[in-house]
Chains A and B, each alone.
Chain A
């Protein structure tokens, strides 16, 4: 909740705040005149105020006070800062009201835990280094059961260990944020970047029928923004939301503005275990159902919810696809490399564009189906042996050629090799 108050008699009706307001909820009064004889500013819809402080920043009269619940420190951080992706996710989680972090160190995401160790102290939260990822995810389960915002963070091998707990979170419909800063596998693999956990994140997280929402940022700014969004999605749908990043994004620094996301109205957590307080019947957080009918029913109900998520929450970016004959598909760090390749390809007359899924589950099928009507071929670029490519093939249904360009083991595809592949596809290969 944010609150704006104006010192009306100071206002000179300059309109600067009105223009600065990103939510367009300020206006100069038509009827009122203040003591100075100006039409002063007024707020049209305070409920939509996000407390960004832009109006107050602009006001030459210093006549505006902006208040925000417990977030005074944020407005000071409105300027651009240079931050690692890992740190930006951690700070964004704090801004989103997360006060509970349970993790276990693993390269290349350790900065998340290190950042939390400092920040949680400052904001009065809890940061706990568990004895293993198995324990960490169960601690997440415990905290989430009480209705608080909670998260964990790991990298590929650690996420595999968390599979158990994530399945339980899904079976109990407990919201949680999970971060996977992917590294190369399988096994211990390596610590260099990879995108080889796509299948795991979108299909085979662990046992049982369930989905998690997978968000794939491609910049430090998006890592922050999507982290905040992830908590809302988790609470809205009682789901587990994963930020599927990679070592490049986790380790790189970019300028980032840590802006607070708009406060969404979210369902009350009446299911949480907080002690009955003698006011209600007891709540049980549970995933065990011995009655087959009942388990069938809860699974169906859960999938009905997933359907809504697929309809409402699918996100993607389209880049230069309007006239594209070849449409590339890439998410996360590789999508940036594709954009480099597109710039060069276009100067060579190759009409190429990009669809970048931002939600990997739900996958933006329709976006691919739409461009498939006019594009001649697709090129999927991944740091894997080919995982997302299956979703593209499923989406376009064999109507168009879907080629692949991938690197594994911690290697990153270069713009040059992508370009080479584009040239091959363009030179007669397109219709093959």
Chain B
């Protein structure tokens, strides 16, 4: 595959945009063409937040992702809304701690991880997003494992550098979480 069309969705405050930015930087490190498009305005205030990221060998045309081949769903409304839009064969990462169902479509590949619970158990409050990203790296390869640190370095702003190691830890937890099927 020479392009990823990624949708990351959840509710405002879950770090959806930050997760998208991290994946974008990881793409940039590999000199890919990338675009990042957020939702904005009142939609952000506690509503659904969505971030469209494209990582591609070719120049990015429209930055809008209408048929995602990667979906990172961080709550139930997001899965409900974007599952039907997924391209055939798309890979879907689901936070099973927050989403009480499996994928409906059988032409998609689902990967389940109780990210919210893992974050709480590991004292990584607010880093559910990066656990999900870790899982996406493991299952889909949205970025190279060895680029994680460099991409994080670029994504975390200067004034928040103290949070760098916690973010890295979250990615690691997601990356190392064993595959399991929904029961």
Q: A337 CA to B35 CA in the complex, in Å?
A: 13
List chain B residues, Cβ under 8 A from A337.
61-62, 64
How many Å lie between the Cα of A247 and that of B40 in the bound state?
A: 10
The 0/1 profile, CB within 8 Å of A marked 1, for residues 12-40 of chain B is: 00000000010011001000011111101
CA distance A242 to B104 in the complex (A): 48
Chain A contacts of B62 at CB under 8 A?
Answer: 333, 336-337, 340, 412, 415
Q: Which residues of A contact B28 (CB under 8 A)?
A: 80, 82, 255
B35 x A253 contact (CB < 8 A): yes
Contact of B35 among A247, A252, A343 (CB under 8 A): A252
A414 adjacent to B66 (CB under 8 Å): yes
Q: Are A191 and B21 in contact (CB under 8 A)?
A: no
Any chain A CB within 8 A of the CB of B100? Answer: no
Chain B nearest CB, measured from A181 CB (Å): 11
Residues of chain A within 8 A (CB-CB) of B144 are none
Chain A residues with a Cβ closer than 8 Å to the other chain, count: 22
Question: Of all chain B residues, which has the CB nearest A412?
Answer: B64
- Any chain B CB within 8 A of the CB of A339? yes
Q: Is there contact, CB below 8 Å, between A82 and B61?
A: no
Complex-state Cα separation, A4 to B142, whole angstroms: 43
Closest chain-A Cβ to B27's Cβ sits at a distance in Å of 9
In the complex, whether B88 has a CB less than 8 A from a CB of chain A is no
B63 at the A/B interface (Cβ < 8 Å)?
Answer: yes
Q: Which residues of B contact A248 (CB under 8 A)?
A: 37, 63-64
Size class of the contact patch on chain B:
20 to 34
* Contact for B37 among A80, A251, A340, CB less than 8 A: A251
Q: How far apart are B37's CB and chain A's nearest CB, in angstroms?
A: 4
Note all chain B residues with C-beta closer than 8 A to A108: 40-41
A254 interfacial by beta-carbon distance below 8 Å: yes
* A301 CB to nearest chain B CB (Å): 43
A415 and B34 within 8 A (CB): no
Q: From residue B81, how far is it (CB to closest CB) to chain A in Å?
A: 16
**Is A107 close to B, CB under 8 A?**
yes
The verdict on B60 contacting chain A, using a C-beta distance below 8 Å, is yes
Interface bits B36-76 vs A (CB < 8 Å: 1, else 0): 11101110000000000000000011111010000000000
For residue A107, which residues in chain B have a CB less than 8 angstroms away from its CB? 40-41
In residues 385-432 of chain A, which contact B (Cβ within 8 Å)? 412, 414-416
- Complex CA gap A367/B40 in Å reads 37
Cα of A350 to Cα of B154 in the assembled complex, Å: 43
**Complex Cα spacing A340 to B21, Å:** 23
Within 8 A of B (CB), among A102-141: 107-108
Question: Can you name 17 A-B pairs with beta carbons within 8 Å?
Answer: A82-B28, A107-B40, A191-B40, A247-B40, A252-B36, A252-B63, A253-B37, A254-B35, A254-B60, A254-B63, A336-B60, A337-B61, A337-B64, A340-B61, A343-B61, A414-B66, A416-B66
Further contacts, 12 of them, CB under 8 A, given A252-B38, A339-B61: A82-B21, A82-B25, A191-B40, A191-B42, A251-B37, A252-B36, A254-B35, A254-B60, A255-B34, A336-B62, A340-B61, A416-B66
Counting from the closest, the 8 A-B pairs by CB-CB distance are A340-B61, A253-B36, A337-B62, A191-B41, A252-B37, A339-B61, A336-B61, A252-B63
